[in-house]
Amino acid sequence: MNTFFKNSFLDIKDICLPLYKILIPFIFIIKILEEIGIVKIISNFFEPIVQLMGLPSEFGIIWVTAIIVNVYAAIVLFINIVPTLDLTVAQVTVLTLIILIAHNILIESAISRAAGVSFFYASFLRIGIAFLAGFILNKIYFHTGYLQEKFSLVLEQRTIVTDYYSWFLGQIENLIYIFFIICILVFSLNILKKIGVEQLIKKILENPLKLMGIGSGAINIIIVGLTIGLQFGGGLLIKEAKSGTVDKQSILLSLSLLNLIHAIIEDTILMMIIGGHISGVLFFRIIFCLIIVFLILYLYKKFSGLFKFVFVKI
C-alpha cells in the first residue's frame, strides 16, 4: 500500500511540474493579449470568416475569445451578445461546433508541443478543421432545412469580471482545481492498473486504434484526452509521450485526434446547455474529425517526409 501511494505521488509530481511550467506563463500571456486589444484586432479578421459559415459577424469575437482565452469566457460573451441577434438553432450549433474543435489554442497547442507535435501544426489543424467543419455543417443544415427554427436563449446574462484581483483569484482557483483533477486521475488510473481494468480497456481499444494507425502504447493518451481533455490531462499526455513507448506515427495521430476531439463529455454538455444541438456538437463532430484523422494517416503513409517539420524533440 505504501508503494502504491509513493508511486502515485511521484506520478502526480511528474505530471504537475511540466504542466504548470506551461500553464502559468500562458495565463499571463493571454491576459496581456486581452488587455492590449489583440483579441479584438484578431476578431475583426475573423468576422468575414464566420460569415462564410453562415454566422453573423458578431460571432467572430466569441470564437476568437474561445480560441485565445477559453470556452467559459466565450460562453459569457455569447450570453451577453445573443439577445441582440436574430438567430436559428442551426447557426448556434455551427458556432458551438467550431468552438469545440478550436478553443484554448495557446495553452493546448503548447501542451501538444511538449508531447511531440509542433505548436503551429496543432493550432492550424484545429482552426482550419473547425472552419471546414463549420462550413460543411452550415451547408447541410441550410440545404436540408434542419434546425432552422428561431433560437431563444434560456441562460441569463452574466457579469464579465474586469478587476485584476478577481481575475487573479480565479486563475489560482483554476490551478488548484487542475491539481485535484490530476490527483483523482492518477489514483484512479493506478487503481485500474492494480485491479486489471486498464489491460481490459487496452484490449477493447487496441483494434479500433490500430485501424486508425495508433499503437497500443498511446491508449492512455487517448483515454485521458477524450475524457478530461488536453488541459487537465496535459501533464499525463506529456509523461506518456516522453516515456519512449509511443512511436512517432502514434504520437502524430493520437495528438491530432485529441486536438480535434477531447473532453468529450464535459465540453459537449457545456455547448448543449447554451443551445448547440447534439447532431452537430457530438455526432457530426466525431464522424467528421475521425475522417480527418484517417486522412492524416493516409497522407503520413504517402508523404511521411512532409511531416518531419510537424515533430519536435521532447
Of residues 31, 306, 292, the one with CA closest to residue 168: 31
* Residue-by-residue pLDDT tens, the chain, 314 positions: 678 888 888 878 877 887 788 778 888 887 888 788 887 888 888 999 999 999 999 999 999 989 998 888 888 788 878 888 899 999 999 999 999 999 999 999 999 998 889 999 999 999 999 999 999 999 999 999 999 999 988 766 556 566 888 888 878 887 887 788 778 877 877 787 778 766 776 677 777 878 888 887 777 778 777 777 777 666 777 877 777 778 889 889 989 999 999 888 778 888 998 899 999 999 999 999 999 999 999 999 998 888 888 998 86
The answer to whether the pTM exceeds 0.85 is no
What would the grid cell of residue 183 be? 490527483
DSSP string, 225-280: HHHHHHHHHHHHHHHHHHTT-S-HHHHHHHHHHHHHS-STTHHHHHHHHTT--HII
CA distance 253 to 227: 17
Domain ranges of the chain: 2-151+178-304
